[in-house]
Amino acid sequence: MLKSNITKLCAIVIIMSQIGLLALHRSLKNCTSDIMTAQNLSLMEYRVTEHVRERSESLPTKKQRLPKALIIGFSKCGTSALRTFLTIHPYIVSPQAELFYFSRYFSRGLEWYRRQMPPSTPRQITIEKTPGYIKTKESLQRIYHFDPQIKLIVIARDPITRLQSQYAHVYSENGTINSSFDKWCKANGKRVRFFSHYAIYIRRLYNIFPRDQVLVLNEDTLEKDPLSVMRDAEAFLEIPPVFTPDMFVYDKRKGFFCFNTSTDLFPRVLKLVQVNHLTGCLNSDKGRKHPQINENILEYLKEVIKPLNEEFFALIGKRFHWDNFEDEYKDKERGEKKR
Ligand SMILES: Nc1ncnc2c1ncn2[C@@H]1O[C@H](COP(=O)(O)OS(=O)(=O)O)[C@@H](OP(=O)(O)O)[C@H]1O
């Protein structure tokens, strides 16, 4: 009797110790994966992380969660490319559409907003982008009341190029611009200033949110070196760095960096974001032909905009090299790309 009780006790001790070992093994595994994610992951490791995302998609913990970060502006400054590129990060989910919740659709309520979000695991960050949020104090205050700790991303662009982009957006039909940018600029001096004075909006933003919750990016860098922008965003969002140089390639015809269609990640990219399945580029409503500017108007715009840019750079504490607009504009490759 005593012997059989001792045997039972031994069996229990052995089982318990095995369970303990298993738990220890699991926690060590988690620990190593956290250490791994703290380092720069190679493409191979990115695939492993992606595999984790795929598997975690069926986890019961997956549900629609409110955003922990927003891309709030400025319109026509590369907000779509930024959101699209970021969305392939395994730790990020993002709704495809702009939701205008904190501006136009606030009365629809928080539950409506939540229901627009893709399902995510507790580790993933939901990011929503609506470029107009930065434009009104009301939207920013609503965002603050929603979550005073939320992270905010702003991307800005040379205001002259931004004006051209906006103009092309409004006045293009079937790829043709149907009126004169020069005339529009002359007739809309007040609007030119209003659209180009980034400092007004950034100052208002800094009055509501601590600066370390705001990341200000440069569209020019996104165009020329998307990888470095992705890395800045990863660091700001405190997520593991997974982007690698081979994920993006410059597409001469589009004139922009696009997803590399020849990596084995591309089928996954197509499931996550809307890009051209043949080229890996953003759709044709991004990268439109810009209107011509005559010398006089260019001089006028430079004069009006230069002090506004200086105010903006002083405020954000960094300088973007937007003063070479003329060279860029005349750059042959750029001319070819817009044709
Ligand atoms: N990689 C890549 N692919 C395509 N487009 C790119 C890219 N990087 C930056 N851009 C620039 O993004 C400009 C559009 O900006 P937004 O997405 O903010 O426009 S919008 O406000 O959402 O309508 C768009 O402006 P336009 O060239 O005037 O169409 C692009 O210049």
Residue nearest to atom 7 of ligand 1 (CA): 81
- Atom in ligand 1 nearest the alpha carbon of residue 258: 1
The torsion defined by the Cα of 149, 155, 160 and 163, in degrees rounded to 10, comes to -80
**Residue 184: per-residue pLDDT:** 86
The answer, yes or no, to whether ipTM is higher than 0.95 is yes
**Residue 170: per-residue pLDDT:** 84
Is 186 designated active site?
no
In short, whether 280's Cβ falls inside 6 Å of ligand 1 is no
Of 10, 137, 77, 17, the closest CA to residue 2 belongs to 10
pLDDT in tens for each of the 339 residues of the chain? Answer: 555 565 565 455 545 544 444 443 444 344 334 333 434 456 666 766 776 666 666 666 899 999 999 999 999 999 999 999 999 999 999 999 999 999 999 999 999 999 999 999 999 999 999 999 999 999 999 999 999 999 999 999 999 999 999 988 888 766 666 668 888 888 888 889 999 999 999 999 999 999 999 999 999 999 999 999 999 999 999 999 999 999 999 999 999 999 999 998 999 999 999 999 999 999 988 888 888 898 999 999 999 999 999 999 999 999 999 975 544 444 444 444 444
Residue of 177, 286, 290 to test ligand 1 pocket, by largest number of atoms within 8 Å of CB: 286
Cβ atoms 184, 167 nearer than 8 A: yes
**Residue 171: per-residue pLDDT:** 80
In short, whether 165's Cβ falls inside 6 Å of ligand 1 is yes
In short, whether 288's Cβ falls inside 6 Å of ligand 1 is yes
> Which of the following is catalytic: 62, 68, 76, 306?
76
What are the binding residues for 3'-phosphoadenylyl sulfate?
Answer: 157, 165, 286-290
**Residue 287: per-residue pLDDT:** 82
- Atom in ligand 1 nearest the alpha carbon of residue 129: 22
Distance CA 35, CA 207 (A): 37
pTM: 0.83
Q: How far is the CA of 26 from the centre of ligand 1 (A)?
A: 44
Radius of gyration of the chain (CA): 25
Residue of 74, 80, 82, 155 to test ligand 1 pocket, by largest number of atoms within 8 Å of CB: 80
Q: How far is the CA of 283 from the centre of ligand 1 (A)?
A: 10
Output phi, psi for 69, to 5 deg: -150, 150
Token pair 């439109």 is found at: 288
- Atom in ligand 1 nearest the alpha carbon of residue 257: 1
Q: Which residues pair with 71 in a beta bridge?
A: 129, 153
Q: Omega into 146 within 30° of 0, i.e. cis?
A: no
Three-class secondary structure assignment of the chain: CHHHHHHHHHHHHHHHHHHHHHHHHHHHHHHHHHHHHHCCCCHHHHHHHHHHHHHHCCCCCCEECCCCEEEEECCCCCHHHHHHHHHCCCCEECCCCCCCCCCCCHHHCHHHHHHCCCEECCCCEEEEECHHHHHCHHHHHHHHHHCCCCEEEEEECCHHHHHHHHHHHHHEECCEECCCHHHHHHHCHHHHHHHHCHHHHHHHHHHHCCHHHEEEEEHHHHHHCHHHHHHHHHHHHCCCCCCCHHHEEEECCCCEEEECCCCCCHHHHHHHCCCCCCCCCCCCCCCCCCCCCCHHHHHHHHHHHHHHHHHHHHHHCCCCCCCCHHHHHHCHHHHHHHC
**Residue 7: per-residue pLDDT:** 56
Residue nearest to atom 8 of ligand 1 (CA): 223
**Residue 51: per-residue pLDDT:** 63
Of 295, 275, 291, 280, the closest CA to residue 338 belongs to 291
In short, whether 287's Cβ falls inside 6 Å of ligand 1 is yes
For residue 339, the number of C-alpha atoms closer than 13 Å in the C-beta half-sphere is: 8
- Atom in ligand 1 nearest the alpha carbon of residue 338: 27
Q: How far is the CA of 135 from the centre of ligand 1 (A)?
A: 18
Show Cβ contacts of residue 4 under 8 Å, excluding neighbours closer than 6 positions. Answer: none
What are the binding residues?
Answer: 157, 165, 286-290
Expressed in angstroms, the distance from the first to the final Cα of the chain is 93
Show Cβ contacts of residue 119 under 8 Å, excluding neighbours closer than 6 positions. Answer: 57, 62, 63, 64, 93
**Residue 49: per-residue pLDDT:** 72
In short, whether 116's Cβ falls inside 6 Å of ligand 1 is no
Q: How far is the CA of 169 from the centre of ligand 1 (A)?
A: 10
Domains (ranges, CATH) in the chain?
54-338 (3.40.50.300)
